[in-house]
Structure 1
Amino acid sequence: MTPLPDRYCPTDGVRIPGDSLAWCCPSCHGPLDLDFSPTPARLKSLTGRVNSLWRYAETLPLAAPTVSLGEGRTPLVPLTDEVSAKLDFLMPTLSFKDRGAVMLAELALRAGPRRVVADSSGNAGTSIAAYCARARLPCTVYVPLGTSAKKLEQIEAHGARVEPVDGGREAAAAAARRAADEPDTFYASHVYNPYFLHGTKTYVHELWEDMGGRLPDVLVLPVGNGTLLLGAALAVSELYGAGLLDRRPALWAVQAAAVAPLAEAWAQGAEELTGTTPVAPTYAEGIAIPRPQRARQILRAVRDSGGTFLTVTEDQIRHAQSDLASRGLYVEATGVACWAAVREGALGSRSAVVPLCGAGLKSGLVH
């Protein structure tokens, strides 16, 4: 089996051996990145490969998967002349999080821990639970009180133990981190573990293939913890660095106006979070993250791409969800945020793709 690449702290450079169960930098306790710089395959060589995200094997830090559920290769459909939608709600657990969860479960299977723990507002926990079930690994998911009952039902259906935590999303994450420090425990964190980002980057590799070796002018991406956006930035860098793109698309990051710490920092020209941002209830619970751990990386990725931040109101989210449903696409409130941001002409004549990240059945129609 190929040795696993080292992980390292992007803040202070501390390195962690690839086979370690350590989940954060021992110095600053921040999230880790992966020492891995792959070269993607050329377009013609993808013909005839497995019809899942594992067709991009050259770009993935793990090979020969044993826990795959056929994730990836979701449809790309037009919404307008300029905007297309990638239907990532058609993944095995009905959310884009499967792209990263399969990588974490595969990594955990190779580590052989006593148990796996995760924290989530719903979709990531569901994905981790499903792939741990596939890998026959015991799993506990810490969730904030108020998490959608339908998502909790799905997590439990996969055999995972649910631990509700009072105090919101950050309290659930803190509880999971305490559990992760126990011996022989694998922390399947979609925030701290860089393998998750190397799974989500396949979103862009699929777009590149489906669009015949190019990408749109703009990639519009929802941002809470930023795992899809940071994965997209990785893929763009890989493709451009290999000479497989002649230009980089701009990354437009979308937050709910009710919880928009990154958009606020962006508006102030800051390189990191600027303090305590007011938080209000939002339909877009999946991106309601007051203090994203990778804030500096997210802001830098958007800035380096020539992109920007947009925010959407609760009315815009509600109307966008109804609009997509009227077009035959039933998507959860978080998953419609990007369409809400651009459906009224913000793009001008630029081409764009928006991800529809989670199925409407997970949380229902908002009113």
Structure 2
Amino acid sequence: MQSYLDPRSGRTWPLSEPRWCGDAQTPLLLTERRGLARDEIAAGTRSIWRYAAALPWMPKAPVTMGEGCTPLVERALPGGTALLKCEWFMPTGSFKDRGASVMLSLLRDQGVTAVLEDSSGNGGAAVSAYAAAGGMAATIFVPASTSPAKTVQSRAAGAAIELIPGSRQDCADAALRKSAEIFYASHNWQPFFLEGTKTLAYELWEDLGFRAPDHVIVPCGAGSNVLGCWIGFGELLRAGQIARMPRIWAAQPANCGPIARAALGLPAAEARPTIAEGTAIAQPIRLPECLRALKDSEGGAVLLDEAEIAEAAIALARTGVYVEPTCAQAAAAFGKLRAAGRIAERETSVVVLTGTGLKATPRFAEMLGVAL
């Protein structure tokens, strides 16, 4: 029987009670479990719910819109050939639909009818859409300085948008205070969200003929894909379905890369603006867990400057792959890892591309020097 787990104290709580943090306001995971075998995949289900046997429980009626089953495309990149996992092929245009689907399905079963999220980007869009699909009310806190264009997708889904004065951290702090009134379904805090992102590992395993890749390179902000891959591949390893963990690599902008800096043994640095804005998380709440995942998998991290991120985004677009600069940095990281000899030519490398470039049109206009 799985339980909520505070990985820092070892304390557990039953899953039957809705909970988003430990009693000391620490982020939670779930207790470890064995992964599923290939004959436990619901092969007739075309979504992440084909891996329902790997989840902590099966909801009465999953909140699903066909998320998952995204393409895996081979492409020549600077440095060599990689497999691109095209996670923007999701209902709201980003990988966060995996987590939103599982999180809101299980919370709804627990009796939660209204949720709170703080995000001006993909997280807010995903929670808004899946709350609407599940008949749940959603309130999204965003910094007051956020461009109105960034909240249109959430507003269209019927979410209530509250503009919070101050910084992104001020917005998160306001959400924590509001959590006493509305259940806090934060994609950064809620462990069920990670249960959704771990389906990426199961999907890659199935995509590759039921084997693990040698390397998975992911754009990293708060670390949900780093942790999702670590949890999912860890379950498959315990089930005897794979021989070893893939090496997980976190790609972060040099302007705001606290997880990468810590993994590389570099001192903390003040956060600065970056075109990889989806990963600009100055104070990631799961920093110790992310560092453990990178170390356990024998992977690591890559810091990228703004020019490297922009170059990768444009280069991908000119092969027909139009993605956010945020996730293009994973492709740039692959090239740097190959050049440094950390990835061999014969090895299988997956570059995870998390969001559509359609969400970053102003950024592309800036990079291309054109007016909107």
TM > 0.5: yes
Residues 37 and 298 of structure 1, relative CA distance in 2, 3 Å threshold? same
Which stretch shows the higher mean deviation, 203-212 or 48-57? 48-57
Cα offset, 1:146, TM superposition: 4.1
Task: Name the residue aligned to 1:54.
Answer: 49
Contact 2:222 2:285 in 1 (8 A): yes
Q: Which residue among 348, 351, 355 is the counterpart of 1:351? A: 348
Residues 110 and 45 of structure 1, relative CA distance in 2, 3 Å threshold? closer
Q: SS at the partner of 2:15?
A: coil
Q: Distance in 2 between matches of 1:173 and 1:209?
A: 37
Q: Which blocks of at least 5 consecutive residues in structure 1 are unaligned?
A: none
Task: Name the residue aligned to 1:124.
Answer: 123
2:58 equivalent to 1:63: yes
User: What amino acid sits opposite 2:297 in the alignment?
Assistant: S
Cα offset, 1:45, TM superposition: 5.2
Cα offset, 1:266, TM superposition: 1.9
Task: Name the residue aligned to 1:287.
Answer: 279
Percent of aligned positions with the same letter in both sequences? 39
Q: Which residue among 3, 6, 16 is the counterpart of 1:6? A: 3
Cα offset, 1:332, TM superposition: 1.1
User: What amino acid sits opposite 1:142 in the alignment?
Assistant: F
Which residues in structure 2 correspond to 1:119-198 (within 5 Å)? 119-182=118-181, 185-198=182-195
Which residues in structure 2 correspond to 1:288-367 (within 5 Å)? 288-343=280-335, 345-346=338-339, 347-349=343-345, 350-364=347-361, 365=364, 366-367=366-367
Cα offset, 1:264, TM superposition: 1.8
Q: Distance in 2 between matches of 1:301 and 1:95?
A: 23
Q: Distance in 1 between matches of 2:3 and 2:239?
A: 22
User: What amino acid sits opposite 2:283 in the alignment?
Assistant: R
Q: Distance in 2 between matches of 1:219 and 1:35?
A: 24
Q: Distance in 1 between matches of 2:42 and 2:284?
A: 38
* Number of residue pairs aligned between Structure 1 and Structure 2: 355
Q: Distance in 2 between matches of 1:146 and 1:61?
A: 38
Which stretch shows the higher mean deviation, 103-112 or 247-256? 103-112
Q: Distance in 2 between matches of 1:83 and 1:160?
A: 38
Q: Distance in 2 between matches of 1:162 and 1:127?
A: 14
- Any idea what the Cα deviations from partners look like across 1:56-87, whole Å, max 9, x if unmatched? 11111231443110110000001126311011
User: What amino acid sits opposite 1:75 in the alignment?
Assistant: P
TM-score, length of structure 2 as denominator length:
0.90
Cα offset, 1:181, TM superposition: 1.5
Q: SS at the partner of 2:88?
A: helix
Which stretch shows the higher mean deviation, 341-350 or 104-113? 341-350
Q: Distance in 2 between matches of 1:67 and 1:309?
A: 34
Cα RMSD over matched residues? 1.9
